[in-house]
Amino acid sequence: MLLCVKQNSVHLPFNFLCMTIHREGFKSIAIGALIFGAINLIYFYFFSSALPWLGWVLFFATLFLLLFLISFFRIPNRNLTIHDNAIVAPADGKVVVIEEIVDVEYFKDKRLQVSIFMSPANVHVNRNPISGTVIYSKYHKGKYLVAWHPKSSTDNERYSVVLKKGDTEILVKQIAGALAKRIVNYLQVGQKVSQTQEFGFIKFGSRVDLLLPIGTKINVALNQVVKGGVTVIATLS
């Protein structure tokens, strides 16, 4: 299969389509392809003569799983939203929480929380909601409650980063879910970042929280589907 390298991604032609594959998926896809090949070769050589129809079922079932794996690590081509006063979605998914909470980790006061649930079918690239400077970054070990559980924000494995732009500080929290077993975060304290620039990746279902200043104008509603780097979640005053 022809692969065309482009920076940290790969263009993978399949079915006359060219998908961009995230670098975090290289190893997983390679392992998936080896398993796909091994299962079908073993069946072909040892069992196909007895049950040929089952071989086709097995082939299409494992092919579907391999294509799903490839799709999970896709990076779609999009026109990203870049605006000084906008807070853009850090992830694809559905808005599952919009509420005031008391942040006990960093701010130690009331914040407006907006949470986005990412299903396994969503794009799992995470993007900076604003441009600014990374002033806080911390990894927390934790549980693997389902991502929509109310305590997942504080009890689950997670990675918290605070971005500062002028007088505004925003906490972005990557949260592992029941299926997500690996959170990748590329940011370091002191680093300058750009809005919509990729900052991390979460594997296999998860959640991303935004903690915003009280009084921030929210532009989305509960259960709204949003696109990372595109949908404006809120507007800075």
pLDDT in tens, 66-98: 887 787 778 888 899 999 999 999 999 999 999
Nearest to 183 by CA among 151, 206, 162: 206
What average pLDDT score do residues 52-79 get?
A: 84
Q: How many domains does the chain have?
A: 2
Do 21 and 138 fall into the same domain? no
Do 65 and 109 fall into the same domain? no
DSSP labels, 42-72 = HHHHHTTTT-HHHHHHHHHHHHHHHHHHHHH
Instruction: Assess if residue 81 is contained within a domain.
Output: no
Would you state the pLDDT for residue 141?
Answer: 86
What average pLDDT score do residues 52-58 get?
A: 83
pLDDT in tens, 149-174: 556 666 678 899 999 999 999 999 99
> Is 115 among the residues known to form the active site?
no
Residue 1 · residue 18 · CB < 8 Å: no
* DSSP for residue 210: E
Instruction: Assess if residue 79 is contained within a domain.
Output: no
DSSP labels, 124-179 = -EEE-SS-EEEEEEEEE--B---TTSTTHHHHB-EEEEEEEETTEEEEEEEEE-SS
Average pLDDT, the chain: 84
pLDDT in tens, 15-47: 335 568 777 778 888 888 899 888 888 888 887
Do 163 and 202 fall into the same domain? yes
Do 166 and 196 fall into the same domain? yes
Query: Does residue 9 carry a pLDDT above 80?
Result: no
Do 50 and 97 fall into the same domain? no
Would you state the pLDDT for residue 2?
Answer: 31
Instruction: Assess if residue 169 is contained within a domain.
Output: yes
Catalytic residue among 9, 115, 153, 206: 206
Q: In this structure, is the dihedral angle defined by the CA atoms of residues 163, 165, 169 and 172, taken in order, positive or negative?
A: negative
pLDDT in tens, 180-233: 567 889 999 999 999 999 999 887 668 899 999 999 999 999 999 999 999 999
3-class DSSP state of 25: helix
What average pLDDT score do residues 116-139 get?
A: 92
Do 122 and 217 fall into the same domain? yes
Do 51 and 102 fall into the same domain? no
Percent of the chain exceeding pLDDT 90 equals 48
Instruction: Assess if residue 78 is contained within a domain.
Output: no
Do 226 and 139 fall into the same domain? yes
What average pLDDT score do residues 54-69 get?
A: 86
Nearest to 183 by CA among 166, 162, 160: 160
* Residue 105 or residue 55, greater confidence: 105
Do 31 and 93 fall into the same domain? no
Bridge partners of 124, per DSSP, are none
Do 129 and 167 fall into the same domain? yes
Would you state the pLDDT for residue 143?
Answer: 66
Whole domain around residue 140: which residue ranges? 86-235
Would you state the pLDDT for residue 200?
Answer: 92
* Residue 35 or residue 178, greater confidence: 35
- How large is the C-alpha radius of gyration of the chain? 20
Report the CATH number that the domain containing residue 106 is assigned in CATH.
Answer: 2.70.70
* Residue 157 or residue 114, greater confidence: 114
What average pLDDT score do residues 112-131 get?
A: 91
Instruction: Assess if residue 142 is contained within a domain.
Output: yes
